[in-house]
Every structure is written in C-alpha cells, then in structure tokens.
C-alpha cells in the first residue's frame, strides 16, 4: 500500500483509534454514549450497575496508585544506594558529575544533597527548585533537617508526603555502610498524578473527551511456583535426562486419543507431546525406571528411552535453569504476572532472539530508560511522519517494559523476553489518541521493517476497512498480530482485536479471574494478566497499570519467544499453539470471557519445541510455507 493511498484513506476515515478508546459510540443526535448502556439510561438497574462498576474501577485505580507509590519509593532507595556506592570517596567534581547525570536521567529527583560526615560539609544539587508558600517551604526544611539527623544516627530516613507549590514530594535519605557519607533525595511524586489521570481515562472514571479524541486503555498476578528440572546421573560421565519423562515409540497399534488420555491418568501425567513417530510422556511422581516398566509391561512398544538433555558448551549447568526469581529489584514483590503464566519455566526453553523483533505500535517509548537499555531498535513516528518515537504519555513505555525490560540486571522490573528487540512505532499523540491513518501506517511500517510480532494495545468499536486492510497486509507478511480487547466491560466487538487475523487478548486478575473491566465476546482468543502490572514508565520511573493494554503485551512477548524457538512456524501456527496450550478458565473449552484460556508460557514453548506439525497437517503446512516464500521472492523482484 503506497503512502499516497494511505493518506487518501486516512482523509476519508474520521474515526480515531487510541489505547483503550474502546467504549464510546455516537447516538443519532450526535451525543457521545457509553457502549453497552441503554440509550434511555433512566432505569434504576442501569444506574445501579453503572455505580457498581464505578466502585470496582475506583478500587483498581486506588490499587494501581498505591502500587506505583511503593515502586517509586523502592526505586528511589536503590538510586540513592547506587550513588553512595559509586561516589563515596570520590573528588567533589566527580560527585557533582554523578549527581547531575542521575538527575538528568531521573527527572523526578528534584534535589540531591551529598553529606561528608567526617568534615560536616554538605553539597546540594538541584535540578528543579521547588517554589511554594513560606509555610510549605518551612515544612520542607523541617523534614530536611530531620533527614540529616536521622541518617547520621540510624542510617536511613523517609519523610511523609508534603506539598510545595502545586507538587507533592517526599524526602529519602541513605548512609554509606562505613558511616562516612550520606545522601538525601527530594523525590517528585508527579508520577502518581500521571497514573491517576491515565487510569481515570483508561478505566472510564472521568467523562469521555469529545468524539474523535479517544484515550488510553491499560490492563495486568501472584506467587512464583518453582519447577525443578530433575536430571539422573549414573556417574559423572553419564548423559543427563529428565527423570520424570520417557520417550515411547509404539508398534503398529498406536493408541487413540481416548487411550492416550487413559495412559496420562494412570501415570499421573498430562497429555503427551508427539514428535515424529514418538511420544514424550511426563509423570508428576513416577521415575524413568517406573515409567519404562509401565510401558514395556502394558504396551510392548518398539522402544522406550530416556528424554535426554542436549546441552551446549556455554558452561550451562542445572544452576542456569530459572527455577528461582531473577534479581530485578521489583520482581519478587510486584511482578505476580510472570510467575502465574509460568515465565520462569518457559525461560528454560526460550528467552527470545534478537532476530525476532516485536513491534509496539503505541504512544512511543522512552528510549533512554535504564531498564530498556540496548533493547530498542530504531523506530518510527507516524504522528509527524519522521523523527524519534518519543513517548509523551507513558503507555507505550509501560507496554514495552512488559515485553522486553532487561532481566537480571538488578534494576526495576523483568520483561518476559530477554533478547527479542523492540521496534517502537508511535501512532498515538500526547493525548493518547491517533487516527486510523496513523495506526494503519504504523502497522504497515512495522511489517515492512522486519517485525515478526506486532502488539496493538489500542482499539475502537468502528470496523474500519482501511485498518483491516493494514492488518491483512501485515498478516499476509507472516506477522503475528496481537491486540487488547478493551476496558469497557462490554460484549461489543472492538477493533483491531475482533479481526480474524488478530489474536484478541482479555484481562485476568492475580487469582485467575476475569478482570471486571475486560471486554468479552466470541472474538476473544486468550486471556492474560492485566491487574496492577508493574512496568517501566516515562521519566525513568516505574508504574503499575491495569487494563487489557497490559494483558496484550504478555501475549505478544510469548509469540516472540515461540518464533525465536521455532522460526519455521507460520503466524497462524504460532497463534494456534498459544490458544491450544492456554490454561482453560471459565466454561470448558472456548468461552467469551477467557477465549481458550489464560496464557501458559511453558506449555506453549514445550509444544513449539516438541510437537512439530501433525502428519495430517503437513500438506497445508508445506503449502503455507511455499506461499510465504513466493510472497517474499515477489517482494524482492
């Protein structure tokens, strides 16, 4: 599709798309109404339902703000401790240089005070001088004096929140381990106001903007469940194998599905994986010798053997499996969402690949966020047609962190993918809104610039053929497209999520229940965590947001891991693996609230690595691959 055609279609298309715009429609008289609400809107039942929904959404908002405040305090404490470890004992000019550098990259640090207790000298570095009333500034000075005294005596200090001018702050102080140095930071709490404003729009807690200006949607789990990879060792030179698994090739009489299910029950396992002519069975409590005895006595197979582990020579040992949490500061306390979808177990199979870019078509990204360093490719700004895709909202940076924040760097949060590069594409402006033109152009640009997966945490209830053409363009280039279902608790289909080429993602809570704001319908394919998801945020900060916008990148990241593990899979096959290996929630099978179920990273990656393509699907698979090759060759001519 040429840029000229895009422009013409964009001029003809008046519908705007935004992150979580999915909840507005126009009546015949031109007024804006909420989707799913009766046109009369006068009945007590409608008002009562709306009031209950407002109460629930306010609870989500409060939870997001409280979690973000906790993240802010932890992150500030880490920054101060890092400064102490790096600047202690250094000349004054180097201390000043480090302080200025920290303030440049962390705009919320309004003031730093460095204290040498051995000399009694204090140096103050201000990036923003707070201006307020005489009483407000007096209170701030009182807290500052208390901080100096406290860190000298006890080693640490945190003040209550206080206001200076129109901003809220808190003071935090830390002392070096040898007691010689101290540092105090004045921390701007504006991020809490940003999250509040963001989520009020996203969760529809404030009136809708004028038609044509739609707003951001968001979305978001609990305990890390360890898995232990058990390996058997006959002696130190023996090969390693999975102790609870066995590879079986049956003779001519291959068990049917009913018999395979019976076997799984008898060995206390799950459905087997099929690879070629063989099956891999796993038991929850039987060892390999016990499994071998079971199959040989009951099925007389052609052969049985251990499920061997083939290791690279990169000094990989059992210690390198991820049964434990990564060391990212906020992971254990706040990132419930990764353990619940079995991300840690999945990392033992795939941590991504830099040859499989994941595009985030959104509000852009903060390119210099410390937790995204080295994770970003050069992107595109479809709003102005050139320039960097800078994020002036926060939504795109948050989505990006869920997918690809640095893992095991001791900083902030962990992304789902370690190595998939992020291709940021800005299609939504500083209000969180963008035209169908900008969104369609962003999708096409991402597809043309190597994206293997595209995340779309945005939407509209208007079924735009132009947008659909862009979706089909990317899909026909073998891109996996993933989109959020929306945050209006309505069954009305939202787009692009409802297009058949797109994997539509609903939101779940930490208890694996449907998030009350999550849109639903027959078009929903899977569900993923969307409640108070901690991730990167603009200003080199971190925030917790709720919404299907947060659920969608979980699925996009998983698609990136799958394509990294098995690059030969088509986009359709990747989506099929993700739905077939989801954890069934709600009504058995597909339902309108959870689709095929909540994502499971480990099960999906196991299937991608071990199942291959069923014999009966092989002709279609080959045909699909040939068609892809033909399209690629045609594009090169």
Residue 47: phi, psi to the nearest 5?
Answer: -65, -40
β-sheet bridge partners, residue 435: 16
SS3 56: helix
Regarding beta strands 422-426 and 358-362, do their DSSP bridges make them parallel or antiparallel, or are they unpaired? Answer: parallel
Q: Cβ of 389: how many Cβ atoms within 10 Å?
A: 26
CA distance 27 to 16: 17
Give the closest residue to 195 by CA, choosing from 353, 62, 366.
Answer: 62
Residue with tokens 């499996």, as numbered in its chain: 321
As separate numbers, helices (DSSP H) first and strands (DSSP E) second, the chain gives 17, 23
CA distance 505 to 584: 14
Q: Which residues are catalytic?
A: 362, 395, 549
β-sheet bridge partners, residue 557: none
Residue 594 burial by Cβ neighbours in a 10 Å radius (0-12, 13-18, 19+): buried
* Cβ neighbours of residue 123 closer than 8 Å, sequence gap 6 or more: 92, 95, 96, 113, 114
Angle CA(46)–CA(492)–CA(424) in degrees, nearest 5?
120
Q: Are 485 and 524 in contact (CB under 8 A)?
A: yes
Q: Are 446 and 425 in contact (CB under 8 A)?
A: yes
Strand order across the 303-308 sheet: 273-275, 278-282, 241-249, 303-308
Regarding beta strands 167-175 and 156-158, do their DSSP bridges make them parallel or antiparallel, or are they unpaired? Answer: antiparallel
Token pair of 285, please?
Answer: 């409590």
Give the closest residue to 311 by CA, choosing from 247, 246, 241.
Answer: 241
Give the closest residue to 169 by CA, choosing from 39, 73, 281.
Answer: 73
Write down the H helix ranges in 237-277. Answer: 257-266
Q: Are 596 and 584 in contact (CB under 8 A)?
A: yes
Looking at residue 319, what DSSP letter applies?
G
């Amino acid at each position: 599709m040429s840029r000229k055609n895009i422009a013409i279609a964009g001029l003809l298309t008046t519908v705007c798309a935004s992150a979580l715009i999915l909840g507005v429609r126009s009546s015949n008289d031109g007024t804006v109404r909420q989707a799913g609400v009766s046109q009369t809107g006068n009945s007590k039942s409608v008002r009562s339902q709306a009031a209950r929904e407002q109460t629930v959404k306010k609870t989500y908002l409060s939870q997001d703000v409280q979690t973000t405040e906790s993240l802010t305090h932890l992150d500030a404490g880490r920054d101060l401790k890092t400064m102490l470890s790096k600047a202690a004992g250094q000349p004054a000019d180097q201390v000043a240089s480090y302080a200025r550098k920290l303030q440049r990259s962390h705009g919320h640090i309004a003031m730093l005070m460095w204290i040498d207790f051995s000399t009694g000298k204090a140096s103050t570095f201000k990036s923003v001088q707070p201006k307020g009333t005489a009483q407000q500034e007096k209170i701030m000075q009182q807290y500052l004096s208390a901080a100096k005294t406290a860190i000298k005596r006890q080693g640490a200090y945190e003040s209550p929140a206080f206001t200076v001018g129109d901003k809220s702050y808190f003071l935090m102080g830390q002392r070096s381990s040898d007691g010689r140095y101290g540092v105090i930071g004045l921390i701007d709490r504006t991020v809490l106001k940003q999250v509040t404003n963001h989520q009020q729009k996203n969760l529809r807690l404030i009136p809708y903007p004028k038609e044509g200006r739609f707003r951001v949607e968001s979305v978001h789990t609990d305990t890390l469940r360890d898995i232990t990879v058990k390996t058997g060792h006959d002696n130190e030179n023996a090969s390693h194998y999975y102790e609870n698994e066995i590879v079986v090739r049956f003779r001519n009489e291959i068990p049917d599905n009913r018999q395979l299910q019976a076997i799984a029950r008898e060995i206390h396992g799950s459905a087997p994986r099929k690879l070629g002519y063989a099956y891999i069975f796993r038991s929850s409590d039987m060892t390999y010798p016990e499994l071998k005895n079971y199959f040989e006595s009951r099925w007389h197979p052609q052969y049985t053997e251990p499920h061997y582990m083939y290791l690279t020579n990169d000094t990989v040992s059992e210690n390198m499996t991820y049964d434990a949490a990564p060391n990212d500061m906020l992971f254990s306390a706040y990132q419930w969402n990764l353990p619940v979808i079995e991300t840690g177990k999945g990392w033992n199979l795939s941590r991504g690949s830099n040859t499989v870019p994941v595009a985030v078509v959104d509000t852009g990204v903060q390119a210099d966020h410390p937790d995204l360093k080295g994770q970003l490719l050069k992107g595109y700004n479809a709003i102005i047609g050139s320039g960097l895709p800078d994020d002036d909202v926060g939504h795109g940076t948050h989505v990006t962190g869920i997918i690809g924040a640095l893992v095991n760097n001791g900083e902030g949060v962990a992304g789902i993918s370690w190595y998939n590069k992020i291709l940021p594409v800005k299609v939504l402006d500083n209000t969180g809104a963008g035209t169908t033109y900008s969104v369609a152009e962003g999708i096409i640009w991402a597809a043309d610039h190597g994206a293997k997966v595209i995340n779309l945490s945005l939407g509209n209830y208007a079924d735009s053929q132009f947008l659909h053409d862009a979706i089909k363009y990317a899909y026909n280039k073998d891109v996996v497209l993933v989109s959020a279902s929306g945050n209006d608790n309505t069954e009305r289909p939202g787009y692009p999520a409802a297009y058949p080429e797109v994997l539509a993602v609903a939101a779940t809570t930490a208890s694996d229940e449907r998030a009350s704001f999550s849109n639903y319908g027959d078009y929903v394919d899977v569900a993923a965590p969307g409640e108070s998801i901690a991730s990167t945020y603009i200003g080199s900060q971190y925030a917790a947001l709720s919404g299907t916008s947060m659920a969608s990148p979980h699925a996009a990241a998983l698609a990136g891991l799958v394509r990294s593990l098995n690059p030969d899979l088509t986009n359709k096959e990747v989506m099929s693996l993700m739905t077939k290996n989801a954890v069934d929630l709600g009504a058995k099978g597909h339902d309108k609230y959870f689709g095929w179920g909540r994502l499971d990273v480990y099960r999906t990656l196991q299937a991608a690595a071990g199942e291959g393509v069923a014999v009966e699907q092989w002709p279609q698979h080959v045909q699909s691959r040939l068609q892809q090759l033909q399209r690629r060759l045609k594009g090169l001519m």
